Amino acid sequence: MDSRPVGIWQAVGIQVVDVHELAAGKLSALMSRRQARDLFDCSNLFRLGGLDRERLRLSFIVYGAMSRRDWRTLAPNDVDFDIADLEQRLIPTLRAAGIERLQQDRFGKGLIEDCRNFLAGLLPFTDAEREFLNRVLDKGEIAPELLTADEDLQDRIRRHPLLEWKALNVREFRKNQ
């Protein structure tokens, strides 16, 4: 991908993450960190449209397996916000006209509703998705064939550095128990 020109300058050949992976990563951050900025980013990503739900779902499961949080316990109501975080860390970074008149509580609740509705569309997990998570989180095994028949994608999932690290840590933890 190439950047937009800025005067005579333009960056070319920029490697970017697929938008589905970006959205899954943002959702993972939201569910793990619970920061207002993650809530804002997720709401905006989901409003853009153009996301293929199946591709997002696959990325969401894989990113969930890498998360510190146990993805098997996720529920839409887990999406929440802290009004102080919204006021102190998000609102000051927004440059929209009229931001000073923003009803922050209503704004935050709207972000939550967007994200809860979107998350509800990704849940519940299928039996195969749950089995993928069980194998990674309980046994340290990466079994991407449970998620996709695409062999290239299976290979990329199997070789994902953070997923490999997570599986290794699970195996090491089990060995030391």
Burial 84-115 (b: 16+ CB within 10 A, else e): ebbeeebbeeeeeeeeeeeeeeebbeebbebb
Whether the CB-CB separation of 59 and 160 falls below 8 Å is answered with no
pLDDT for 98 beyond 70: no
Confidence at residue 1, expressed as pLDDT on a 0 to 100 scale = 76
What percent of the chain stands above pLDDT 90? 66
Confidence at residue 136, expressed as pLDDT on a 0 to 100 scale = 98
Highest mean predicted confidence (pLDDT) among 12-26, 48-62, 76-90, 120-134: 120-134
Count the Cβ atoms, other than its own, within 10 Å of residue 117: 13
Q: Please state the pTM of the whole predicted model.
A: 0.85
d(CA 121, CA 165): 29
Supply 1's token pair.
Answer: 């991908």
According to DSSP, the residues that pair with 9 across neighbouring strands are 6
Q: What is the DSSP code (8-state) at residue 6?
A: B
Burial of 136 (0-12, 13-18, 19+ CB in 10 A): buried
Q: Which residue has the higher pLDDT, 138 or 87?
A: 138
Encoded amino acid at 10, one letter: Q
- Average pLDDT for residues 8-17, to the nearest whole number? 87
Q: What is the sign of the dihedral through the CA atoms of 80, 85, 42 and 32?
A: negative
Count the Cβ atoms, other than its own, within 10 Å of residue 17: 11
Q: Residue ranges of the domains in the chain? A: 1-124, 126-177
Of 72, 13, 61, 42, give the one whose Cα is nearest residue 160. 61
Confidence of residue 50 (pLDDT cuts 50, 70, 90): confident
What does the pLDDT look like over 162-175, one tens digit per residue?
A: 999 999 999 999 99
Confidence of residue 96 (pLDDT cuts 50, 70, 90): low
- Average pLDDT for residues 69-83, to the nearest whole number? 92
Q: pLDDT averaged over the chain?
A: 91
- The count of residues in the chain is 177
